Structure 1
Amino acid sequence: MKYKGIIFDFNGVLLWDAPFHVQAWQATALRLRGSPLSDNEFSIHVHGRTNSHILCYLSDRTPQGQELLELIQIKESMYRDLCLKNPEMFVLSPGAEALLDFVSSKDIPRTIATASEKTNLDFFTQHLGLDKWFDLQRIVYDDGALPGKPAPDMYAKAAGNIGLLPHECVVVEDAISGFQSAHAANIGHIVGIGPLETHNRLLGCQGVSTVIESFEQFPRELLVNA
């Protein structure tokens, strides 16, 4: 089976930045509820989720308006500061640039569907040069207009943004909520990415067909024109 396009999650996929998010969210959790997040809470309520969902979970209520914006920016400012202080880690993940160069050279439709908000997307574009490979207008991010993952909306919109139906696309994800979102959107082929010791767990997630450790192992033969 060949697929016409590819949609990437960003955090944990194109950018291996989990330690920065973990540190920033743990500080936020301590401030809001006085206790850290467990690994299980990260898996279910943090990785792949929108800021608004995580902050609602941590505060056990629904922050809105200016309060929500301020809470988001406190956490994200901390995260961005960690990125800049660790330049050796603030780079695209292994094999990502080569794959992006390849799909660009083959004119394979591509975009990103991320739970990141606009401030972070602009930050990534500035420092990582995303506009070299992506039409920024086609990237789907958390602008508050769509339900976040695990709802199917972000991946359904991302497919439409590159002129394809969801079943014509490959998605690369690392988070349970992302797998659920891609599966619910009827994505054609879901690739899970993560360390080798996580592969059995990833393959057990609904809809995941292939698992890789890095983009160096990405099966390019999945794509039309590859």
Structure 2
Amino acid sequence: MKYKGIIFDFNGVLLWDADFHFQAWQATALRLRGSEMSGEEFATHVHGRTNSHILRYLTGRTLQGRELFDLAQIKELMYQNLCLKNPDRFALSPGATALLDFVVENGIPRTIATASEKNNVDFFAQHLDLEKWFGLQHIVYDDGFLPGKPAPDMYAKAAANLYLPPDACIVVEDSFSGFKSAHAAGIGHIVGLGPRETHDKLLACEGVSTVIESFEEFPRELLEA
């Protein structure tokens, strides 16, 4: 079966930046609760999650308004500084540019659905030239109103932004909350991206049909060119 559109998660998929987020969130956890997070906490409460969810988990209470904004910006500033201090690694992931060029050349509808907030989306657009491949107005991000992953809303909205039903789309994800979100949205084909040693675990996630180590392995034949 071929699919008409493709939706990308961003962090950990189009941009391999997990260690930058790890450093920034561990510093934030240490400041807010006096201890860093475990690997299990990261997998459950950080990967693919919105800032509001992560900060609620770290503080044990719901944050709103200026307090939520200020704490999120402190973390994001740390993260962005790490990106800028490592220009050799602040680049699209292996094979991503070639795949994006392919989908553009073949007129395949595409967008991004990310738990990042707008300030980070703007940061990525500025430094990674996202407008070359994406209509920025179609990118779905954490706007403070849309339920975050694992709720289906982000991927449902992304498909609607492409004027396609979810089952006509491919999603590329790397997080368990992202897989749940895409599956709940009725996405037609979910591709899990991660290191080779994680592939059995990724394939065991509900809805995941294909696993790849990088976009160099992406099965382009799934797309209706």
- With the shorter chain as reference, the TM-score category is over 0.9
Offset of residue 62 of structure 1: 0.8
Question: Aligned equivalents of 1:29 and 1:3: distance in 2?
Answer: 41
Counterpart of 2:71, as a letter, is: L
Secondary structure of the residue aligned to 2:159 is helix
Residue in 2 aligned with 1:55? 55
Runs of 4+ in 1 over 4 A off after TM superposition: none
- The 3-state SS of whatever aligns with 1:164 is coil
AA in 2 matched with 1:128: L
Aligned to 1:183: 183
Query: Once the 2 structures are TM-superposed, how far is the Cα of residue 65 of structure 1 from its aligned partner?
Result: 0.5
What letter corresponds to residue 76 of structure 1 in structure 2? E
Deviations 1:135-185 (A, max 9, x none): 000000000121000000000000000110000000000000000000000
Distance in 1 separating the partners of 2:40 and 2:76: 22
Residue in structure 2 matched with residue 166 of structure 1 by the alignment? 166
RMSD: 0.4
Distance in 1 (alpha carbons) for counterparts of 2:11 and 2:87: 16
TM-score, with structure 2 as normaliser: 1.00
The alignment partner of 1:116 has SS state of: strand
Which residue type is aligned with residue 216 of structure 2? E
Query: For residues 158 and 145 of structure 1, what CA distance do their matches in structure 2 show?
Result: 15
What does 1:1-226 align with in structure 2 at a 5 Å threshold?
Answer: 1-225=1-225
- State how far apart, in whole Å, the 1-side matches of 2:64 and 2:134 are: 32
Counterpart CA distance in 1 for 2:18 and 2:89 is 10
How far the C-alpha of 1:63 sits from its partner, in A, is: 1.2
Aligned identity (percent) is 76
Counterpart residue type for residue 22 of structure 1: F
Deviations along 1:68-125, one digit per CA (max 9) or x if unpaired, are: 0000000000000000001111000000000000000000000000000000000000
Deviations 1:10-63 (A, max 9, x none): 000000000000000000000000011000000000000000000000000111
TM-score (norm 1): 0.99
**Cα distance between partner residues in 2 of 1:163 and 1:59:** 39
Question: Structure 1: which 5+ residue stretches go unaligned?
Answer: none
Q: Which amino acid aligns with 2:6?
A: I
Counterparts of 1:135 and 1:80 in 2: how far apart (Å)? 23
* Structure-2 separation of matches of 1:69 and 1:217: 38
Structure 2 unaligned regions, length at least 5: none
Alignment partners' CA distance in 1, 2:220 and 2:144: 33
Following the alignment from structure 1 to structure 2, what is the Cα–Cα distance between the partners of residues 115 and 89? 21
Partners of 1:5 and 1:145 lie apart in 2 by: 25
